[in-house]
A and B are shown apart, each in its own frame.
Chain A
Amino acid sequence: MTSPTYTQDLTLTANAYKLISLLFGPPSDGLEEVLTHLEQTLAILKPKLIPLVNEMKSLSDSESKLEDLTVDFAKLFIGPFDLLAPPYGSVYLDGQRRVMGDSTVKVLKFYRQAGLNLSDEFKEPPDHIVTELEFMYYLMAKHIETGDTHWLLMKEEFFEDYLSQWIKDFVARIQENAKNNFYKNLAQISLELFS
């Protein structure tokens, strides 16, 4: 079970989750480094996705391009009017944006059970894609750290019961509505990694 390649694969997968989580955050200067890490990670995990990452790099390598991204990001994920691709699980699972709907409470319970709470700095509700991906990363990291399989089981359960139930609809909405290939590619990579 704990062969070096097994651990390495787990580490890379965890990192991929973390990196995608970061990419679903607001576009910033740090994108280049994150994309470079993603490229290296995918080189072993899924090499065929590397061209997508390279295109994303080229779409974010200048101030003006970052501005374009910010506009696209806002339309897709922030509003102020109808979100084109709401990044909240409850929208897909409860049929509406419910800050503390049934599915959100369920997610919160998962976090609590893992000994986690929402960070004071991150002002989004518990069912945000960034939070959920970070949670997946955390569970894998804990498994790698402790060797205890219950973390991995928890991750699988969280994915099965929750994240997998809405992520496909979410990325489909991005692919449909994004103007910029950056987010279309991010959606494609997410889809490939989570199916």
Chain B
Amino acid sequence: MARYGMVIDLHKCVGCGACGIACKNENNVDQGMFWAHHLKRTTGVFPNVSYEYVPTLCNHCDNAACVKACPTKAMYKDDKGLTLHNPDKCIGCKSCMQACPYDVINFNSKEPHAFWRDSTSLIDKGTGSGQETSQKTGQKLPYYNPERATTYAGIRPKGIVEKCTLCDHRLAKDEQPYCAYSCPSGARIVGDFDDPTSEVNKLIAQYGYKQLKPHAGTKPKVFYIRHF
């Protein structure tokens, strides 16, 4: 067994959003859905103002509320401690979304990537269209990442939920999750919390940590160190 999770160093984080954008890119996530996103807060009164930015993603909780709530075992814990989702078992009941305290599970209420099926062009025969572009590239999404499909539905169909898998398809190849890989500040560190020598354990030992909604009892495995 392993317990994979993430440390986010808020001191290094500059709030640029590269993690969230890269995530959508890697996982073929449709418009309006976010597997990795952020919380923002501006506090104080001018000129004593502070701004905080907290990157968010699935916490891959040890005691995952979504897994407990799922009636079909579509949501499950794997042997790396990841909270994963099996689209074949998912019936789209949204129980997991209601149970998750972090609002990181998304529901496909429509057939995804409608943007790339839109056939209207602004200038007839002069400019392209979403449909023409996707057709020219031969994919539902011109920059469709086929590697995503090696462990999860490449694009999740209408009627089911979807969420962060901590890029299990990349971890399987010994690569960092793409959000961590794409973070220009090196603020996201992924590792095994069961391994006492891991970088993630060292970091939380050195700096202490905060978690989001620890009282929800879900034992989240995204640990925030230092301050934005």
A and B touch in the complex (CB under 8 A): yes
- A109→B119 contact, CB < 8 A: no
Among listed A90-98, A145-153, A166-174, interface-contacting one: A145-153
- A148→B111 contact, CB < 8 A: yes
The answer to whether A24 has its CB under 8 Å from any CB of chain B is no
Among listed B6-14, B36-44, B129-137, B179-187, interface-contacting one: B129-137
Partner of A146, one of B111, B119, B131: B111
Give chain B residues whose Cβ lies under 8 Å from the Cβ of A115: 140, 155
Q: Contact mask B124-166 → A, CB, 8 Å, 1/0?
A: 0000000100111111100000000000000100000000000
Question: A148-B111, A153-B119 in contact; A110/B131 too (CB < 8 A)?
Answer: no
Q: Shortest CB–CB separation between residue A87 and chain B, in angstroms?
A: 22
- A112→B140 contact, CB < 8 A: yes
Give chain B residues whose Cβ lies under 8 Å from the Cβ of A110: 135, 138
Give chain B residues whose Cβ lies under 8 Å from the Cβ of A105: 138
- A113→B111 contact, CB < 8 A: no
Question: A146-B111, A148-B111, A150-B131 in contact; A112/B119 too (CB < 8 A)?
Answer: no
Number of residues on chain A facing chain B (CB within 8 A)? 13
- B135→A150 contact, CB < 8 A: no
Question: A146-B111, A148-B111 in contact; A113/B119 too (CB < 8 A)?
Answer: no
- B138→A112 contact, CB < 8 A: yes
Q: How far is the CA of A153 from the CA of B135 in the complex (A)?
A: 12
Q: Contact mask B108-122 → A, CB, 8 Å, 1/0?
A: 000100000101000
Question: A146-B111, A148-B111 in contact; A108/B138 too (CB < 8 A)?
Answer: yes
Give chain B residues whose Cβ lies under 8 Å from the Cβ of A157: 135
Give chain A residues whose Cβ lies under 8 Å from the Cβ of B155: 115
Give chain A residues whose Cβ lies under 8 Å from the Cβ of B134: 113
The residue on B at minimum CB distance from A107 is: B138
Q: Shortest CB–CB separation between residue A101 and chain B, in angstroms?
A: 15
Q: Contact mask A72-112 → B, CB, 8 Å, 1/0?
A: 00000000000000000000000000000000010011101
- B135→A109 contact, CB < 8 A: yes
Give chain A residues whose Cβ lies under 8 Å from the Cβ of B138: 105, 108-110, 112-113
Q: How far is the CA of A117 from the CA of B127 in the complex (A)?
A: 29
Give chain A residues whose Cβ lies under 8 Å from the Cβ of B139: 109, 112-113
Q: How far is the CA of A165 from the CA of B138 in the complex (A)?
A: 20
Q: How far is the CA of A154 from the CA of B132 in the complex (A)?
A: 10
The residue on A at minimum CB distance from B116 is: A113
Q: How far is the CA of A110 from the CA of B139 in the complex (A)?
A: 8
The residue on B at minimum CB distance from A157 is: B135
In residues 112-155 of chain A, which contact B (Cβ within 8 Å)? 112-113, 115, 146, 148, 150, 153-154
A to B CB contacts below 8 Å, 13 in the list: A109-B136, A109-B138, A110-B135, A112-B138, A112-B140, A113-B134, A113-B135, A113-B139, A113-B140, A115-B155, A150-B119, A150-B131, A157-B135
Name B residues whose Cβ lies closer than 8 Å to a Cβ of A.
111, 117, 119, 131, 134-140, 155
| 8 shortest interchain CB distances as A-B pairs | A109-B138, A150-B117, A112-B138, A112-B139, A113-B134, A113-B135, A113-B140, A153-B119
